Chain A
Amino acid sequence: MPLADHDIEALLNAANRVILGKERQIRLALACLLARGHLLIEDIPGVGKTTLAHVLARLLGLDFQRIQFTSDLLPADILGVSVFDRESGAFRFHPGPVFAQLVLADEVNRATPKAQSALLEAMEERQVTTEGRTRPLPEPFFVIATQNPAHQIGTFPLPESQLDRFLMRIELGYPDRTAERELLAGADRRELVAQLSPCLPPPALLAMQRQVANVHAAPALLDYVQALAEHTRQSADFVAGLSPRAALGLLAAARAWALLEGRDHALPEDIQAVLPSVIGHRLLAPAGPGNGNLARRLIEAVALP
């Protein structure tokens, strides 16, 4: 089996040494990347969102750009701009920060919807069109956006249609007691990040992405995905059901998860593992309990076919 097991293990171990006590989130982030999806990290400031993006960029050897979203950010600040060049006597395009393999869009909900949509369209199309010219974005292309909880002051919450462009949304949460102690006692995180060396070079990453698409999904598994989607569409527990794009995303994420588990076929357990992150930002409960609960309720309401 051509699974790069040791590379994956090494990568995860290295990441876990820098970001303490967040094994599951790191694994999900990697699965998201392998499934060629974009990641949204939602949490309060200071729990390591940016650090996680840095760590992934370093470990995967991807060239990295960070865009700090602010309320006065303009689309050109993201995509790039054409400037008149005196020497050649012509306009020359200066690519924006989005032309990188891993883009960190920090605090994406601080910018105006106009700036947000410039990024999100680039994410969806994997290319940028400015001044009548279309320029492809590099391969692999991976966006990690961080978002502050919507109730914080000065935010423009992303609408559902744009949330749907992110394959997963994860929350980091506070570290537990031992992890926090280690963090406090340990070295500076920024130095640790700087010391990291790539474990999985871009060609290997691309190969693994192709391998994800080959992970077997049996008819019984597809039945299960359909049953889950059907339930969200029929049940009164959800305001609106899962879209076919969401179902596709669920399957892709489950395949990536299975690959990370070292299997060549996906199991219902893989679906269940990625389900909270994949559907959390796509489904709305009519009112009340949190989204984590919603995913749990969905899993427990649908029998394995």
Chain B
Amino acid sequence: MRISIAALKPWPCMAKPRKPGAPPLTQGQTVWLAASACGVLVPLAPYLPLWLDALCAVAILWRGWLLWRRVPLPPRWLVNLMAVVGAIGVAIHFRTLLGKDPGVALLTLFLALKLFETRSARDAFAVVLLGFFLILSQFFYTQSMVTAVAMVATTLLVTTTLAVLQRSSTPPLQAVRLAGSMLLQALPFMLLLFLFFPRVSGPLWGLPADAYSGLSGLSDTMSPGSISRLSLSDAIAFRARFTEPPPDQVQLYWRGPVLTRYDGRSWRLGLSGLASEAAAQMAQPVDYEITLEPHNQPWLFALDHPSRLPPNAVLTKNFQVVAKRPVRSRLRYAMQSVLDAHVGRNESADALGEALQLPADFNPRARALAASLRAVSRNDAEVVARMLARFRKETFVYTLSPPLLGRDSVDEFLFDTRRGFCEHYASAFVFVMRAAGIPARVVTGYQGGEVNPVDGYLLVRQLDAHAWTEIWLPQRGWQRVDPTAEIAPNRVEQNLAAAIPQSDALPLMTRPELNWLRQLRYRWEAASNAWNQWVLGYDEQRQYALLRLLGIPSPDWRALGALTATAGGVLMLALTAWTLHQRRRADPLHALWQRFERKLAKRGLGRAMWEGPADYAARLVRALPRREAEIASICTIYQAARYGKLIESAVTRRQQLSELKRRIAAFTS
């Protein structure tokens, strides 16, 4: 690889302003510019107002038409008018001109309109610089791997345009290669800055809160249909990585919001304080790390029952892990859980009272059922067992598309329709338990997950959303009971697809017959996980960890800054040295001659770079007449070796060289 000269030339826009008679842009250069503008604007289009998209499209098409028909550009006042009208439009649309979205919209507008002002190279460079900035602004909206790849392609396009602006005669392929090699040369610096430039914790720009309204996930209420709706989405909720092999599928209960209050239709979060105890260490704890996709809610997911929390999170009385603020960007946290913990043996009366609360005059048949169960049972545990047996024995159906339910939803479900999804079973079970006087509550979260064979991460998707229950028994505390497992054991032991009837519509990818497609998706998800973990997730902590690895004991931003500067300088020097080294390749004859030149340069008799050996010798003899013989012999040998007829025998040539070497060594200035 050779360092390209084009990158070292000053840009024309830095030079003094061109005279009015400066050469206009060629057709080819303008085409490249328009293509660059297209490449920059198209990926931004989904994030801009529709009218602005249309305006930009019209502007580029119009510019293309002018170019094609070789029609002169529209007058300046028209372009200025369009800019003013567009800016007013942006101001009206966003109700302000400040901030991220209006800023990007304005720049987009200017880029599209600047195409009508490309009279000289200066204008063109303005377009290119604006383009570079707008490429970067895409990161405001999405930071996925696909975006990054597309951005690299756009950057190559704009850099190629820059190369074509420097020399209009460059053939396209050669310009692309030049731009590509320039970007490759920038790569070491990019990596250096990525690794060592001090990270600012928290986003650089405060992104508006409503930016997250579209994020889906478990909410803080549960009513019939709320979880089955989630199960249509195969989006990833979070990824988990276990330090040891993951526990059995049936143990993977990822605890989310715990719902205690019931109003006859919906379950809601109850009053909650902080827990006084973490899960008792009954069994071997499980260590794992979760990378949670943003869901705009404060809760974090953890296996039942969490025993060690990440910083910035608390454990509620319901054993729910809650972060201090909603999760609005991808969050990575380490957790530890105990799978078979017994918790809540000393539950307070308040909490138990809340877990018995039921709205009056709803579901009379279910209350009657509870009373009858209570009457035939000796203790609480038997009530639970009888209720579960009832689910098992009667013809309940587990389905994604249950019939709609009326006012007494539990009654209708238990005695009439008998078709439901996990939220129906959990809801009905808790209702009956409470009616029978057993404290009970609904727990929502995710159940199961699948291991991505490519990178070993456990993927938990939205369709793994689940609702189960907990009942409180004296001396034993809170016990998990999953009524769904009674009706559809496959749901818990395998996954959703195995549990529901064939007729139910499932997301395409979860269907078992599309195995090859699933393999492809595993790879893709592993790749984007790696991207999330190592590129987007490369934060202060990982940076400091890397520094510690490099032997800096207590890294801070100053160390990072110093390291960046030092490494940048070293890299620059290395590149320069390499370039210089390349320029004078290892030719022994040339090296000898240079040694001779250096000796004379000390006396102010250096050779001009264009001066031939004979002319140089003549000048030296004029300056140093007494050493004529020495100078003449050295120059004659060099001249003959470099420009004379080839000497066939290698021996003679070596003799020639050693003779030259001896004479130059003997030559003292």
User: A residues near B, CB below 8 A?
Assistant: 216, 218, 220-221, 264-269, 272, 299-304
Tell me whether A218 and B610 are in contact (CB under 8 A): no
Tell me whether A304 and B643 are in contact (CB under 8 A): no
**Residues of B close to A300: CB separation below 8 A:** 608, 610
**Residues of A close to B611: CB separation below 8 A:** 304
- Pick the contact of B612: A218, A264, A267 (CB < 8 A): A267
Tell me whether B610 and A269 are in contact (CB under 8 A): no
Q: Considering the chains assembled together, what is the distance between the CA atoms of A218 and B638 in angstroms?
A: 13
Interface residues of B in 606-635 (CB under 8 A from A): 608-615
Give B323 Cβ to nearest chain A Cβ, in Å.
Answer: 61
Cβ of B93 under 8 Å from chain A:
no
CB-based nearest A residue for B611:
A304
Tell me whether B645 and A268 are in contact (CB under 8 A): no
CB-based nearest B residue for A217:
B643
User: B residues near A, CB below 8 A?
Assistant: 608-615, 639-640, 642-646
Q: Considering the chains assembled together, what is the distance between the CA atoms of A27 and B48 in angstroms?
A: 75
Give A125 Cβ to nearest chain B Cβ, in Å.
Answer: 32
Interface-centre pick from B612, B613, B643, B645 (highest chain A CB count, 10 A): B643
Q: With A300-B608, A303-B609, A304-B609 in contact, is A269–B645 under 8 Å at CB?
A: no
**Residues of A close to B639: CB separation below 8 A:** 267
Q: Considering the chains assembled together, what is the distance between the CA atoms of A216 and B642 in angstroms?
A: 11
Give B609 Cβ to nearest chain A Cβ, in Å.
Answer: 4
Tell me whether B614 and A267 are in contact (CB under 8 A): yes
Q: Considering the chains assembled together, what is the distance between the CA atoms of A299 and B610 in angstroms?
A: 7
Tell me whether B610 and A265 are in contact (CB under 8 A): no
Tell me whether A220 and B610 are in contact (CB under 8 A): no
- Pick the contact of B643: A220, A301, A302 (CB < 8 A): A220
Interface-centre pick from B612, B642, B644, B646 (highest chain A CB count, 10 A): B612
Tell me whether A302 and B615 are in contact (CB under 8 A): no
**Residues of A close to B642: CB separation below 8 A:** 218, 220
Q: With A216-B645, A220-B643 in contact, is A267–B610 under 8 Å at CB?
A: no
Tell me whether B645 and A304 are in contact (CB under 8 A): no
- Pick the contact of A221: B609, B640, B643 (CB < 8 A): B643
**Residues of B close to A221: CB separation below 8 A:** 643
Q: Considering the chains assembled together, what is the distance between the CA atoms of A158 and B613 in angstroms?
A: 38
Q: Considering the chains assembled together, what is the distance between the CA atoms of A251 and B18 in angstroms?
A: 38
Tell me whether B613 and A267 are in contact (CB under 8 A): yes
Tell me whether A265 and B612 are in contact (CB under 8 A): no
Tell me whether B609 and A218 are in contact (CB under 8 A): no
Q: Considering the chains assembled together, what is the distance between the CA atoms of A24 and B6 in angstroms?
A: 40
Give A263 Cβ to nearest chain B Cβ, in Å.
Answer: 9
Give 20 pairs: A residue, B residue, CB < 8 Å, sorted on A: A216-B645, A218-B642, A218-B643, A218-B644, A218-B646, A265-B643, A265-B644, A267-B612, A267-B639, A268-B612, A268-B613, A269-B612, A272-B610, A301-B610, A302-B610, A303-B609, A303-B610, A304-B609, A304-B611, A304-B612
Q: Considering the chains assembled together, what is the distance between the CA atoms of A265 and B612 in angstroms?
A: 14
Tell me whether B643 and A267 are in contact (CB under 8 A): yes
Minimum-distance CB pairs A-B, first 8:
A268-B612, A303-B609, A269-B612, A218-B643, A216-B645, A265-B644, A269-B614, A265-B643
**Residues of A close to B646: CB separation below 8 A:** 216, 218
Tell me whether A266 and B612 are in contact (CB under 8 A): no
**Residues of A close to B640: CB separation below 8 A:** 265
Q: Considering the chains assembled together, what is the distance between the CA atoms of A302 and B609 in angstroms?
A: 7
Give A250 Cβ to nearest chain B Cβ, in Å.
Answer: 15
Interface-centre pick from B608, B610, B611, B645 (highest chain A CB count, 10 A): B610
Q: Considering the chains assembled together, what is the distance between the CA atoms of A267 and B613 in angstroms?
A: 8
Give B89 Cβ to nearest chain A Cβ, in Å.
Answer: 43
CB-based nearest B residue for A300:
B610
Q: Considering the chains assembled together, what is the distance between the CA atoms of A157 and B623 in angstroms?
A: 46
Tell me whether A304 and B610 are in contact (CB under 8 A): yes
Q: Considering the chains assembled together, what is the distance between the CA atoms of A269 and B607 in angstroms?
A: 14
**Residues of A close to B609: CB separation below 8 A:** 303-304
Give B434 Cβ to nearest chain A Cβ, in Å.
Answer: 87
Give B613 Cβ to nearest chain A Cβ, in Å.
Answer: 7
Tell me whether A266 and B610 are in contact (CB under 8 A): no
**Residues of A close to B645: CB separation below 8 A:** 216, 264-265
Q: Considering the chains assembled together, what is the distance between the CA atoms of A216 and B641 in angstroms?
A: 12
**Residues of A close to B615: CB separation below 8 A:** 269, 272
CB-based nearest B residue for A216:
B645
Q: Considering the chains assembled together, what is the distance between the CA atoms of A303 and B594 in angstroms?
A: 13
Q: Considering the chains assembled together, what is the distance between the CA atoms of A303 and B615 in angstroms?
A: 14
**Residues of A close to B612: CB separation below 8 A:** 267-269, 272, 304
**Residues of B close to A302: CB separation below 8 A:** 610
CB-based nearest B residue for A227:
B610
Q: Considering the chains assembled together, what is the distance between the CA atoms of A304 and B587 in angstroms?
A: 14
Give A27 Cβ to nearest chain B Cβ, in Å.
Answer: 16
**Residues of B close to A301: CB separation below 8 A:** 610
Q: With A267-B639, A269-B615 in contact, is A216–B610 under 8 Å at CB?
A: no
Q: Considering the chains assembled together, what is the distance between the CA atoms of A268 and B612 in angstroms?
A: 5
Q: Considering the chains assembled together, what is the distance between the CA atoms of A220 and B645 in angstroms?
A: 12
Q: Considering the chains assembled together, what is the distance between the CA atoms of A304 and B640 in angstroms?
A: 16
**Residues of A close to B644: CB separation below 8 A:** 216, 218, 264-265
Give B406 Cβ to nearest chain A Cβ, in Å.
Answer: 85
Give A228 Cβ to nearest chain B Cβ, in Å.
Answer: 10
**Residues of A close to B608: CB separation below 8 A:** 300
- Give 12 A-B pairs besides A216-B644, A269-B613, A272-B615 with Cβ atoms closer than 8 angstroms: A218-B642, A218-B643, A264-B644, A265-B644, A266-B643, A267-B643, A268-B612, A268-B643, A269-B612, A299-B610, A300-B610, A301-B610
Give B226 Cβ to nearest chain A Cβ, in Å.
Answer: 70
Q: Considering the chains assembled together, what is the distance between the CA atoms of A303 and B643 in angstroms?
A: 16
Q: Considering the chains assembled together, what is the distance between the CA atoms of A303 and B639 in angstroms?
A: 16
Q: Considering the chains assembled together, what is the distance between the CA atoms of A265 and B274 in angstroms?
A: 96
Interface-centre pick from A216, A264, A267, A303 (highest chain B CB count, 10 A): A267
Q: Considering the chains assembled together, what is the distance between the CA atoms of A225 and B522 in angstroms?
A: 60
**Residues of B close to A269: CB separation below 8 A:** 612-615
Q: Considering the chains assembled together, what is the distance between the CA atoms of A302 and B640 in angstroms?
A: 22
**Residues of B close to A299: CB separation below 8 A:** 610
Q: Considering the chains assembled together, what is the distance between the CA atoms of A272 and B643 in angstroms?
A: 15
Give B118 Cβ to nearest chain A Cβ, in Å.
Answer: 21
Give A234 Cβ to nearest chain B Cβ, in Å.
Answer: 9
Give B395 Cβ to nearest chain A Cβ, in Å.
Answer: 87
Give A40 Cβ to nearest chain B Cβ, in Å.
Answer: 26
CB-based nearest A residue for B640:
A265
Give B166 Cβ to nearest chain A Cβ, in Å.
Answer: 11
